[in-house]
Amino acid sequence: MTIVRLGYVAMSMELKNASPSKTMTFAQFQKIGDRESAIRKLERIALANLENTHRLLKHNAFSDIYFYRLTSRLIPLANHADLPDWDYIKPLKGKLHEIGEFVKKHNMRIDFHPDHFVVLNSSKIEVFKNSLKTLKMHYLLLRGMKVDPIHRCVLHVGGNYKETDQSLERFVDNWMSVPKAIQKMIMLENDDTSFTLDDTLYLCEKLGIPLVFDYHHHLAHHENEKWEENWDRVVATWKDSSLPIKMHISSPKSESAFRHHSDYVDIDMFFRFLREIKGTVPQIDCMIEAKKKDEALFTLIQEVKKRKDVEMMGGSSFYLK
C-alpha cells in the first residue's frame, strides 16, 4: 500500500484576514521620511505575516493537514539592493522559533517554492547573485524555525533561452558556485514550457537533486509522453532524502487554457496518476496547486472518501488499497 498525503499552497479560503503575504513597495518605503521608522514598519509587516502563518498552521492542524507550502513573500524588501544592512531575521527570531516548535509538535512538512525570478541557470551574473540572495533568505527562515533546510525549496530549472542543451549545461556550471548548504535545500521541478521531465531528470541524476514531479506540467509539455517509463528514475532521485517523495497535482483550467490551473483538482486525472504509482513508494506527498487552495483540498477529500479503492487515515491522508 501507498500513503497519499495532501497539502496546499500558502493561503486559506476558509480562514479570513490571514494573508501571510502583506507587503510594502520600495516607493512606499521611501515615502516614510525616517529610514529607521520605515524599517520598523517593514518588520511589523513581516511579523504580521508570520503571525498569520502561525494561524494558518493552527488551522491546518485542526483540519488534519500536515503538508503546507509557505509563501516566499513573508519578508517584504528582504533582499532589496538599497537595504543591504537590514538584519531582517533578528526581530523575527522569537516568532520563527514559535512556528518551528508548532511544526515539530504536529510533525508537519513545510517547504517553499520561490518566485520565477530565482533563476540559477541565468547567464547574467546579477540575476544569479540575486537568486542566491533570495535562496539564502529561505535558508535563514528555515534555520530560524529550527527546521532542517534539506530538500525544502522547489525550483524550476530556469530559463530555456531557446537552447535547451546549453541552458541545462549552464545550470550545471552555475551549480558549482552555489553554496553547499543551499544546494542541499533544493529540489527541481519539471515545468510546462521549457524543461521536460527528461530534461529535469538529467540534472537531478547528474547533480544528486530530488525531482518533484508535476503531472499537469508533464501533460502540457513533454517529449516522451509515457512518464511511467521514468518513474523509477524519479523515485531514485529521493534515495538520499529523509523526506517522502513529493509531487505537484493540479488540473487544467480548460482545453484552450490547458497550462492554467483550475480552481479544483480533477479526481479522475489524479487517480490515473495514483493507480500507476501505487505500491512503488511507501508514501507520496502531493501538493495541490489549485486556485481554491485549502478549499480544493477539502473538496478533493470529500470525493476521495466516496471511493472504494482507498482507506482514509485522517483529514488529508489516505491509503491506496
- Domain of 178, CATH number, reads 3.20.20.150
Number of structural domains the chain divides into: 1
Which domain does 222 fall in, by range?
2-320
- Write down the pLDDT at residue 137: 97
What burial letters (b/e) apply to 41-53, b meaning 16+ CB within 10 Å?
ebbebbbebbebb
Q: What is the pLDDT along the chain (321 residues), one digit of tens a residue?
A: 899 999 999 999 999 999 999 999 999 999 998 999 999 999 999 999 999 999 999 999 999 999 999 999 999 999 999 999 999 999 999 999 999 999 999 999 999 999 999 999 999 999 999 999 999 999 999 999 999 999 999 999 999 988 999 999 999 999 999 999 999 999 999 999 999 999 999 999 999 999 999 999 999 999 888 999 999 999 999 999 999 999 999 999 999 999 999 999 999 999 999 999 999 999 999 999 999 999 999 999 999 999 999 999 999 999 999
Q: Could you give the CA distance from residue 9 to residue 252 in angstroms, rounded to a whole number?
A: 17
| Sequence-ordered alpha helix ranges (H) in the chain | 26-31, 35-62, 93-105, 125-144, 164-175, 180-185, 197-207, 215-220, 231-236, 267-277, 293-304
Nearest alpha carbon to residue 138 among 120, 108, 118 = 118
Q: Could you give the CA distance from residue 67 to residue 271 in angstroms, rounded to a whole number?
A: 19
Which residue type does 104 have? K
User: pTM for this structure?
Assistant: 0.96
- Write down the pLDDT at residue 161: 87
